C-alpha cells in the first residue's frame, strides 16, 4: 500500500506519543510539511538505488520501502537519528553534511564497476552551504557520477535560522540551485506542527519510569 501524507504523519504521531511516554531513550526528530514533495521524489527512487539521509530520516526510510514495523522497531531502540538498513541500501547520518562524502564514494564505485544504480543524497539547507556540499557537487559533476543531491530547505539548521548565517537570499539561491548540469535538486517547505528538531516537548524520564512501573504493577495484580 503506497504511503500517503496522512499515513506518514500517523507514523510520526505514534513516534511522538511513545517518546513522550518515556519509552525511547535517545533523540528523536520528526518531520512535517514535506510529505508531498518526498512522495513525488521517491517515485524516481528504485529498490536497487542507494539513499543517504539525515538525522530526520523516518519519511525517507518508509518511502524507500523499508517495512513500517522495522523502522518503528529501530526508532524504539534509539536509532531514530541514525537509521541504517544495509539490505535496503539505506543509510543516515546525524552529522551535518556527514552523508555527502559517503554518497559520493558509493556513486564513484558504481561508475567504476559499470553499475546501473543511482545514489540519492539528502541534506538540509544549512548543509548545502558547507564546503563539503560544494566539493561533493564539483566532484560529481567533474566525473559524471550517478548521484542526485537533494536539499530540503525549511529555513533552519536545528534551531538556527539559515538567513541569520547565510543572508536573506539563501532561499532564492537554493530554489534555483542547478550546478553545471549535475543533478542537484532542492525544495522549500513550511514546517507544520513540529519544530525542526525534537518532538516539540521535553520528557521527564523519572515520571515516565514511575508510570511504567505502576502500569506493570496493575497488570501483575
State the chain's mean pLDDT as an integer: 86
Among 92, 2, 12, 71, which residue's Cα sits nearest to residue 43?
A: 2
Q: Point out the least confidently predicted range of 52-66, 130-144, 164-178, 193-207.
A: 164-178
For the chain, which residues make up each domain, given as ranges? 35-191
Task: Provide the H-helix boundaries in the chain.
Answer: 5-20, 35-41, 58-64, 68-76, 100-112, 131-142, 162-166, 170-175, 205-220
CA atoms of 81 and 109, how far apart (whole Å): 26
- In terms of CATH architecture, what is 35-191? 3-Layer(aba) Sandwich (3.40)
CA atoms of 5 and 49, how far apart (whole Å): 23
Q: Quick one: cell of 72?
A: 518503528
Among 136, 152, 146, which residue's Cα sits nearest to residue 59?
A: 152
Give pLDDT tens digits for 3-36. 999 999 999 999 999 999 888 989 999 999 999 9
With H, G, I as helix, E, B as strand and everything else as coil, classify residue 42: coil
With H, G, I as helix, E, B as strand and everything else as coil, classify residue 165: helix
Among 56, 154, 158, 150, which residue's Cα sits nearest to residue 103?
A: 150
- The residue with cell 512535517 is 32
Q: What is the DSSP letter of 166?
A: H
What are the start-end ranges of the E strands in 100-145?
Answer: 119-124
Give pLDDT tens digits for 104-126. 999 999 999 999 999 999 998 88
The mean per-residue pLDDT over the stretch 171-176 comes to: 54
How many CA atoms, within 13 angstroms, populate the side-chain half-sphere of residue 145? 25
Identify whether the C-beta of residue 54 lies closer than 8 Å to the C-beta of residue 25: no
Q: What is the pTM of this model?
A: 0.86
Q: Tell me the β-bridge partners of 52.
A: 91, 121
Q: How far, in Å, are 49, 81, 124, 196 from residue 200 at the CA level? A: 33, 16, 19, 9
Amino acid at each position: 500500500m503506497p504511503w500517503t501524507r496522512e499515513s506518514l504523519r500517523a507514523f510520526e504521531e505514534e513516534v511522538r506519543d511513545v517518546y513522550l511516554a518515556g519509552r525511547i531513550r535517545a533523540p528523536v526528530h520528526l518531520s512535517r510539511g514535506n510529505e508531498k514533495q518526498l512522495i513525488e521524489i521517491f517515485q524516481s527512487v528504485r529498490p536497487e538505488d542507494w539513499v543517504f539521509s539525515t538525522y530526520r530520516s523516518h519519511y525517507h526510510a518508509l518511502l524507500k520501502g523499508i517495512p513500517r514495523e522495522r523502522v518503528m522497531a529501530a526508532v524504539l531502540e534509539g536509532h531514530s537519528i541514525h537509521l541504517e538498513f544495509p539490505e535496503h541500501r539505506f543509510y543516515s547520518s546525524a552529522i551535518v553534511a556527514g552523508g555527502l562524502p559517503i554518497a559520493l564514494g558509493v556513486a564513484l564505485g558504481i561508475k567504476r564497476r559499470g553499475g546501473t544504480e543511482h545514489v540519492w543524497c539528502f541534506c538540509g539547507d544549512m548543509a548545502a552551504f558547507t564546503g563539503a556540499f560544494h566539493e561533493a557537487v564539483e566532484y560529481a559533476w567533474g566525473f559524471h557520477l550517478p548521484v542526485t543531491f537533494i536539499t530540503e530547505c525549511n529555513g533552519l539548521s536545528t534551531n538556527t535560522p539559515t538567513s541569520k548565517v547565510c543572508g536573506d537570499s539563501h532561499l532564492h539561491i537554493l530554489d534555483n540551485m542547478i550546478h553545471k548540469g549535475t543533478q542537484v535538486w532542492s525544495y522549500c517547505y513550511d514546517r507544520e506542527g513540529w519544530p525542526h528538531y525534537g518532538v516539540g516537548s521535553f520528557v521527564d524520564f523519572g515520571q515516565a519510569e514511575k508510570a511504567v512501573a505502576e502500569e506493570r504493577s496493575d497488570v501483575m495484580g
